[in-house]
Amino acid sequence: MALSPDDALQPSPLSIQQTALLLLLSVLAAVHVGQWLLRQRQQPRSSPPGPFPWPLIGNASAVGPALHLSFARLARRYGDVFQIRLGSCPVVVLNGESAIHQALVQQGATFAGRPPFASFREVSGGRSMAFSPYSEAWKAQRRAAFSITRAFTTRQPRSRRILEGHVLGEARELVAVLVRNSAGGSLDPAQPIIVAVANVMSAVCFGCRYDHDDAEFRELLSHNEEFGRTVGAGSLVDVMPWLRLFPNPVRTTFREFQQLNRNFSNFVFEKFRRHRESLRPGADPRDMMDAFILSAEGTAAGGSGEAGARLDMESVAATVTDIFGASQDTLSTALLWLLILFTRYPDVQARVQAELDRVVGRDRLPRMSDQPNLPYVMAFLYETMRFTSFLPVTIPHATTASALVLGYYIPKNTVIFVNQWSVNHDPVKWPNPEDFDPARFLDEDGFINKDLANSVMIFSVGRRRCIGEELSKMLMFLFISILAHQCDFKVNQNEPSKMSFSYGLTIKPKSFKIHVSLRESMELLDSAVQKLQDEEACQ
């Protein structure tokens, strides 16, 4: 049946709906543009520049999952301080050493806040030191946590020996699992490494460890990636809170995030309850949980080591949750990267092993006391942190007062994203920054260039600097030194040359496979573990 010209001109019901929708969107866009122009006129002339934000989503479509790379690209156009909108949330992004230092160090208190994000309030019931607002109570909590963590892990010789013992025992078990599961082929090392690292932190925090086959413990640790994706910079659940009002993947993800936080908090709180029930008055702390409980009770045996550095009892479990959760996640991510780089750069692995053999020998295992004599091992660690920048963007900050950074005005209560990756890949400081070259950290005499080493930004700076930085670096050194001393790591021949990653609070390599073989036998590890246990028994 043919249509007449008049029939063709008659709009269908669908075209009327399309027209109405188009008109509505046009009105919304016009209103949004008008509001944006009004804000531009009202803002001080020194406000940071940035791209035009679209209605509802802002600049979310322009950044993508790899925020650090998107921010670096935008910085090339707008400068090291620029502003974007994610949903309805205005954000100022800091790139480069100068801008970040001026904000987080020179104006530390002003940039030490946290935004009132929904995901932050879910962590440890809002008592998390890492995610709670900046205040006098927060400063007291941080002082106590920093002092006790150092006293119980790295400051005292006996604490160092105990920590070395934990690492040595777990490294022995890890080597056995890696070699056994790699026999005749290759394996994905992620799960064994996550369990090994978490066991060290479990021993430090709770005085216990778990078997590599413990299903409950593995399930608890399996949500690290999901946690980091939700609390990391640019999480949609925080910048577009209206998405939680109706069924969609973001609301589902947030509800799962709430549940995993409850599970993790319940796990730590049960440890806290049992420790408090079994801790005898006047006793020395058995582990870090005891040390925090004793500190909260005001008992000298708590070993806080700093006047006024005490927790309230209600914050103990949340603080230990922060230390256990953040340390094991950060360290396991770092170790996965270290093994990847060993397999991708076999000449680097060979040089690390040659230095270990020359300094340590083959009749014992590396110890913390060897670290000053192993500059290339340390250069390898620093270059891994710089090259991967596996903590690319810090947990979002917020300003507690108005401030100026590089001449740009930033109002109070502004959300701040800090792009650490930009510092570690600055071509002015790091020639050919995309090349992996540990030797860049060695001076002409073969020693570590401390100025360059201190320039690597992975644990943030200022008031929110990670309190576990010293502990993490120590564990990283011990694990990789022992693993390299005992094992050879080779890339799986069928592994694709290009790897894929998941992005959140950390950059995590997705599943990959390597081949692991012993350089000698397990006898050295067994005898070293026994020797360290005998030394501790004699103290």
Spatial CB neighbours of 304, under 8 Å, sequence gap ≥ 6: 144, 147, 148, 151, 291, 295, 310
Spatial CB neighbours of 19, under 8 Å, sequence gap ≥ 6: 11
What distance in Å separates the CA atoms of residue 174 and residue 522, rounded to the nearest whole number? Answer: 11
Judged on CB neighbours under 10 Å (0-12, 13-18, 19+), 477 is buried
Query: What distance lies between CA 163 and its chain's CA centroid?
Result: 22
What distance in Å separates the CA atoms of residue 394 and residue 207, rounded to the nearest whole number? Answer: 30
Judged on CB neighbours under 10 Å (0-12, 13-18, 19+), 46 is exposed
Candidates 169, 152, 444, 75; CA nearest to 327 is 152
CB 288 within 8 A of CB 146: no
What number of residues does the chain have? 539
What are residue 502's DSSP bridge partners? 508
What distance in Å separates the CA atoms of residue 527 and residue 348, rounded to the nearest whole number? Answer: 28
**Angle formed by the axes of helices 316-344 and 224-231, to 10°?**
110
Candidates 72, 50, 68; CA nearest to 59 is 50
Spatial CB neighbours of 155, under 8 Å, sequence gap ≥ 6: 305
Candidates 352, 356, 326; CA nearest to 341 is 352
Would you say 208 is a known binding-site residue? no
CB 228 within 8 A of CB 506: yes
Binding region for heme: 466
Binding-site residues, please? 466
